């Protein structure tokens, strides 16, 4: 009998200086050729377990390990990491740590060169992977010159180059636009069909529908080892573990798990086979009533005006081409688009981090061409995707008070503003904590508080939900929504289509440095063919509504608009 692909026995692991174990008494067998999903809240031990599978724990990462992990019968503690890397390919959650070469093509070639593969083989495989991951035109660029999504694709391609027998993917699609996510899934499907074992770690269940088996982690332990569909058929169980309940099963909650649709395509097929389809009629009149309950909340005052904006990076990349738009006070805007479409580049012009190559931007009366970042950041706060790029102080209080001190606010104002900012992000009581011992979600909120403390009227959030579990995502977005309700103009950059659909009232769709669509969110998501051209796919609930004739942006709206469905 063949050894399992991975066998874990009584595994426990503790990081240095941490009181609680990251993993506790894990017992798990994964057969060769399985596709297994691993899910659970932030801090559950998912990433730690993945590092045990390729020997980085305990051979590189310090800590106390008990129990054993074997890969095709090889004990990871007794086997060298180079020997394991040809068997187990791991794509890290922080994919940037995997990139170190000076060129994109050299990054992909590196591992194959180490294995002394022939130059012809390397050249052929690098070309195939560059094309497969849409990186051919970036082959000679330094990885730092790529967008976040392009770097993530490069990290995945460099692991694929080794053709490992086991693929461990730790949140591999966080920075990918929806169509690139589909392309990644297609490539992994092909590898899985050839016999590759796939272990997919993620917070988004919609990316895990391929798997039949679900390993649910919680507080370092295995809480469930179950069938994927059966788990999501149980009402409220996903939310208990900070996982987003997929949209479609919520509409078929009384179905047998074996027959329950999980995707829009499955739902449409099931509805088509029903003898009585009346329960699935959607009413546009009911939708009008639903929409009327949510006022726009913004004024007619233009506070950001962009006129014929173009920008070219020093390496010659034309990132923006003739952008014209206006943003009004109190709006909640989502900027969406494919990787490298110019979203972040555009947003960085709003607070002077970048200056126009041509055209101009007026922000609250300031022409950004002639205004300093110091002046502009007083009005426009920018929260980066990675909060660690912003945080530097040794305590939360020091971090949040830096801005008002820099602007020479009176001490009494500083104390009040810091208190208000921490209350807004639910971090009161952590003033004396070191930010870097807190969770990523808490560090993100510290970064937000550090900007809130200077009371800007406009706030920009670049991928505010990346790397967060569902409870953290909704906490972050609900906080942003409260800021908007308080009068703050909000601009988010996101690849998460359900976030844009649920929270944003206006969407700006970018493609190749230009604005492809700019309209109310519902109008934008109704245009699926145009969105597909921008590498975007609406959430399943939107696509189902579109197929039934009414664009619905949430499960709640879909249910409200149903004429005869007894929910």
| Domain residue extents for the chain | 6-219, 302-539
Phi/psi at 67 (nearest 5 deg)?
90, -165
Q: Which band of pLDDT confidence, cut at 50, 70 and 90, is reported for residue 132? A: confident
Q: Which band of pLDDT confidence, cut at 50, 70 and 90, is reported for residue 2? A: low
The residue with tokens 């790529």 is 146
What order do you get walking across the sheet with 64-71 strand by strand?
23-30, 6-14, 64-71, 74-75
pLDDT value at 251 more than 70: yes
What sign results for the dihedral spanned by CA atoms 95, 502, 340, 209? positive
> How far is it, in rounded angstroms, from Cα 539 to Cα 19?
40
Task: Render the burial of 132-162: b for 16+ CB within 10 Å, e for the rest.
Answer: bbbbeebbebebebbbbbbbbbbbbbbbbbb
Lowest-pLDDT range of 62-71, 162-171, 249-258, 477-486: 249-258
Nearest to 525 by CA among 513, 507, 510: 507
pLDDT at 564 (0 to 100): 64
Name the DSSP class of 562: B
Q: What fold, for 6-219?
A: Rossmann fold (3.40.50)
Nearest to 103 by CA among 82, 130, 125, 121: 130
Nearest to 308 by CA among 253, 259, 369, 267: 369
What sign results for the dihedral spanned by CA atoms 172, 473, 332, 546? positive
Record the tokens describing residue 66, joined without a space.
Answer: 């008990």
Q: Which of 241-250, 327-336, 369-378, 412-421 holds the top average pLDDT?
A: 327-336
Interstrand relation of 458-462 and 489-493 (parallel, antiparallel or unpaired): parallel
Helices (H), ranges, 56-103 = 56-59, 81-85
> How far is it, in rounded angstroms, from Cα 26 to Cα 224?
11
Mean pLDDT of 9-29: 92
pLDDT at 296 (0 to 100): 65
Mean pLDDT of 336-359: 94
pLDDT at 74 (0 to 100): 93
Burial of 493 (0-12, 13-18, 19+ CB in 10 A): buried
> How far is it, in rounded angstroms, from Cα 40 to Cα 59?
26
Phi/psi at 186 (nearest 5 deg)?
-60, -45
pLDDT at 223 (0 to 100): 95
CB-hemisphere CA count at 13 Å for 416?
6
Mean pLDDT of 341-368: 95
Interstrand relation of 35-39 and 213-218 (parallel, antiparallel or unpaired): parallel
Mean pLDDT of 60-67: 92
Enclosing H/E stretch for 68: strand 64-71
Phi/psi at 240 (nearest 5 deg)?
-55, -30
> How far is it, in rounded angstroms, from Cα 475 to Cα 514?
32
Q: Which residues contact 555 (CB under 8 A, 6 or more apart)?
A: 247, 250, 251, 541
DSSP states of 391-425: ---SSHHHHHHHHHHHTT--HHHHHHHHHHHHHHT
**Class for domain 302-539, per CATH?**
alpha beta
pLDDT tens per residue, range 538-549: 999 999 999 999
> Percent of the chain beyond pLDDT 90?
56
pLDDT at 40 (0 to 100): 94
pLDDT value at 567 more than 60: no
> How far is it, in rounded angstroms, from Cα 13 to Cα 418?
38
> How far is it, in rounded angstroms, from Cα 42 to Cα 241?
9
> How far is it, in rounded angstroms, from Cα 447 to Cα 292?
35
Question: How many helices (H) and strands (E) would you count in the chain?
Answer: 23, 20
Peptide bond into 303 cis (omega under 30): no
The residue with tokens 């692909």 is 5
The residue with tokens 């009413």 is 283
Name the DSSP class of 245: P
Record the tokens describing residue 277, joined without a space.
Answer: 């389809």
Judge if 6-219 and 302-539 fold alike in CATH terms: yes
Enter the pTM of the model: 0.86
More confident residue, 334 or 314: 334
Helices (H), ranges, 425-461 = 440-452
Mean pLDDT of 182-194: 86
DSSP states of 175-208: T--HHHHHHHHHHHHHHHHTT-EEEEE-S-GGGG
pLDDT tens per residue, range 252-311: 877 777 788 989 999 999 998 887 777 788 999 999 999 887 766 778 899 999 999 999
Q: Which band of pLDDT confidence, cut at 50, 70 and 90, is reported for residue 565? A: low
pLDDT at 200 (0 to 100): 93
Lowest-pLDDT range of 38-42, 62-66, 170-174: 170-174
Mean pLDDT of 413-429: 88
Mean pLDDT of 175-186: 83
Q: What is the mean pLDDT of the chain?
A: 90
More confident residue, 293 or 507: 507
């Amino acid at each position: 009998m063949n050894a399992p692909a991975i066998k874990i026995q009584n595994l426990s692991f503790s990081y240095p200086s941490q009181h609680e174990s990251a993993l506790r008494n894990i017992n798990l067998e994964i057969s060769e050729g399985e596709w297994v999903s691993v899910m659970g809240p932030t801090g559950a031990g998912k990433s730690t377990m993945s590092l045990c599978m390729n020997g980085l724990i305990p051979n590189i990462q310090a800590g106390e390990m008990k129990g054993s992990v074997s890969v095709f019968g090889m004990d990871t503690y007794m086997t060298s990491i180079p020997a394991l890397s040809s068997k187990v390919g791991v794509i890290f959650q922080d994919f940037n740590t995997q990139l170190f070469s000076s060129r994109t093509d050299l990054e992909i070639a590196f591992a194959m060169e180490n294995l002394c593969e022939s130059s012809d083989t390397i050249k052929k495989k690098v070309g195939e992977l560059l094309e497969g991951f849409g990186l051919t035109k970036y082959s000679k660029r330094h990885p730092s010159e790529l967008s976040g999504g392009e770097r993530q694709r490069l990290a995945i391609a460099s692991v694929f180059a080794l053709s490992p027998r086991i693929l461990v993917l730790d949140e591999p699609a966080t920075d990918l636009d929806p169509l690139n996510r589909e392309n990644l899934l297609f490539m992994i499907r092909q590898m899985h069909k050839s016999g590759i074992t796939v272990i997919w770690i993620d917070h988004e269940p919609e990316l895990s529908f391929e798997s039949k088996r679900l390993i649910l982690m919680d507080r370092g332990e295995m809480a469930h080892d179950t069938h994927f569909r059966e788990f999501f058929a149980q009402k409220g169980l996903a939310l208990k573990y900070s996982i987003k309940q997929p949209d479609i099963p919520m509409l078929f909650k009384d179905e047998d798990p074996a027959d329950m649709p999980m995707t829009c395509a499955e739902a449409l097929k099931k509805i088509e086979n029903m003898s009585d389809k009346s329960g699935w009629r959607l009413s546009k009149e009911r939708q009008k009533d639903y929409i009327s309950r949510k006022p726009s909340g913004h004024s007619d005052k233009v506070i950001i005006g962009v006129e014929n904006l173009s920008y070219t990076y020093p390496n010659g990349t034309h990132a923006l081409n003739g952008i014209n738009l206006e943003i009004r006070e109190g709006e909640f805007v989502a900027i969406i688009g494919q990787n490298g479409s110019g979203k972040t580049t555009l947003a960085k012009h709003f607070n002077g981090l970048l200056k126009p190559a041509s055209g101009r931007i007026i922000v609250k009366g300031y022409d950004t061409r002639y205004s300093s970042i110091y002046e502009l950041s007083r009005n426009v706060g920018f929260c980066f995707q990675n909060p660690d790029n912003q945080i530097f102080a040794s305590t939360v209080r020091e971090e949040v008070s830096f801005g008002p001190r820099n602007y020479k606010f009176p001490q009494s104002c500083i104390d009040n503003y810091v208190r208000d900012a921490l209350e807004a992000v639910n971090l009161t009581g952590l003033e004396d904590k070191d930010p870097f011992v807190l969770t990523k979600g808490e560090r993100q909120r510290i970064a937000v508080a550090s900007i809130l403390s200077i009371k800007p009227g406009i706030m920009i959030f670049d991928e505010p939900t990346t790397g967060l579990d569902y409870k953290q995502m909704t906490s972050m977005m609900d906080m942003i929504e409260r800021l908007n309700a308080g009068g703050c103009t909000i601009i988010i950059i996101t690849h998460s289509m359900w976030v844009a659909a649920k929270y944003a009232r206006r969407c700006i769709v970018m493609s190749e440095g230009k604005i492809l669509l700019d309209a109310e969110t519902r109008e934008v998501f109704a245009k699926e063919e145009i969105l597909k051209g921008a590498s975007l796919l609406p959430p399943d609930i939107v696509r189902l509504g579109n197929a039934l004739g009414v664009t619905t942006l949430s499960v709640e709206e879909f249910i409200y608009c149903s004429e005869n469905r007894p929910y």
